[in-house]
Chain A
């Protein structure tokens, strides 16, 4: 007898970046620009709070929804930063990373056969998450001509008017695109008109370099149909601590908590103490990190322009999304670049068909390495293109 995975698990192909990961791991001279993770350490105050919580023996479960003081701190933070008003008692749930929050929402709101529109290129976990929940993903391609922003035309073209839900991720992984308020407004109108539930992943909200981040939940009539995801991994460099949260109306959080309480019970307690301290006292650290990312962003964009690889001007997250030269597929280019120059980047089609012909290049790596990596890419272009 063999263990036969369920059909919905078999329906999800293996991750498209696994092969690159394996090649990159074999070599010791690789500069990786394939990393979707800050290269900074978690601010010391947050680490210290985690250590202190362990010393005090605070190692039991917390409330399913997370420690109340943390939910209060989150409510204060999102109100101050993004003009989002949520009740810490009923409208916030603390999760093991924003990824768990996304999974909870799909399982809580997607029925078998439901169609979930996903603005693409997108983070690689949404489609599998929808499939695991029994739903059917509907890719909504965005175009570089639109600065990779989602438009009503793109939604209509993809048939999203008939979908049940819509997934947004802005600032976007992998393109670095942002959606300012004026671009989000028509999307909000569309969601209301076609009665779509909106899942808005705003994990990169702090990493918005030009203008202010706007949440779609702030538009009239959107709060009641939107689940907002956020977390501590990116802005606070806390990826390994696995701490995220979701904001939604009380009934929605109750539904998500029903799934959460049987699966995760509660997010890691140590991480919750770290997060509480992060919100309380790490604003300066975040500002410093965001400043560094912004410098790197300008450097990388400018270098791609110099070496003749067209690259749309990313304004958020820590990725740029240059075009692959004519005659190459993104996968071939990325693989040859890795073999010949030891620079790891991720082919854009991993993030959906609309990423075809692009590379995701992360600048969550020190400037010294970025400079060397761009020189190697330049050398590769001179030799091979």
Chain B
């Protein structure tokens, strides 16, 4: 149970210190540290990232959601294709999904040209990939459970009964 609590808190904010997590879970700080180490070693905790609202930044950052259809042959599995695609640093997430297409891939780049080139030159030529449909992200309203935008809309009375 403590594992789950620690994971939920890290998901909420990966920058909570072990001391803060200990305070919130009523565990010893050393227990929190040990739990985190175990979860990292077991490959449950895979990394810690910032949630960025790129729209709030001057620099352009282009993201696209790409639908991929593949046709498998005897020697190639979904896993083989995924392994090949996941190696590209431009690919930020990759999932096998059910429905009208097979893979759901997120790609990032500094310009539309860069992203387009990547898809046409690196992804589309993979022999098993039969179709790509690219959706450029225009505005992001929520990322990793965090709502983006102006944020501070706390209009409660500063002091109230």
Contacts and interface: CB of A to CB of B under 8 A. Distances in A.
* Chains A and B bind each other: yes
Contacts of A17: 159-161
A371 B20 contact: yes
Contacts of B20: 299, 367, 371
Interface stretch (A28-36, A84-92, A132-140, A267-275): A28-36
Contact of A21 (B22, B24, B157): B157
A21 B159 CA distance: 5
A346 B161 CA distance: 9
Contacts of A25: 158
Interface string B17-37: 000101111100000000000
Contacts of A367: 12-13, 16, 20, 24
Contact of A302 (B12, B16, B23, B157): B23
Given A367-B13, A368-B13, A32 B158 contact: yes
A295 interface: yes
Interface size class of B (residues with CB under 8 A): 10 to 19
Given A39-B154, A367-B13, A368-B13, A34 B160 contact: yes
A37 B156 CA distance: 8
Given A123-B161, A367-B13, A39 B24 contact: no
Contacts of B9: 295
A371 B16 CA distance: 10
Contacts of A346: 159
Nearest to B12: A367
A296 to B, nearest CB: 8
A303 B158 CA distance: 22
B158 A34 contact: yes
Interface in B1-52: 9, 12-13, 16, 20, 22-26
A24 interface: yes
A82 interface: no
A234 to B, nearest CB: 12
Interface string B123-161: 000000000000000000000000000000010111111
A327 B110 CA distance: 60
Contacts of A261: none
Given A39-B154, A368-B13, A344 B159 contact: yes
Contacts of B154: 39
A21 B158 contact: yes
A30 to B, nearest CB: 6
A193 to B, nearest CB: 33
Nearest to A301: B23
Contacts of A371: 20
A59 interface: no
Given A299-B20, A367-B13, A371-B20, A35 B26 contact: no
Contacts of B158: 20-21, 24-25, 30, 32, 34-35, 344
Contacts of A299: 20, 23-24
B24 A295 contact: yes
A125 B26 contact: no
Interface string A142-164: 00000000000000000000000
A298 B26 contact: yes
B23 A20 contact: no
Interface string A8-51: 00000001010011001100001010111101000000000000
A124 B161 CA distance: 7
Nearest to A364: B156
A95 to B, nearest CB: 17
A367 B16 CA distance: 10
A35 B157 CA distance: 7
Given A30-B158, A303-B23, 15 more contacts: A20-B159, A21-B158, A21-B159, A24-B159, A34-B158, A35-B156, A35-B158, A37-B156, A37-B157, A124-B161, A295-B24, A298-B25, A344-B158, A367-B20, A371-B20
Interface of A: 15, 17, 20-21, 24-25, 30, 32, 34-37, 39, 123-125, 173, 295-296, 298-299, 302-303, 344, 346, 367-368, 371
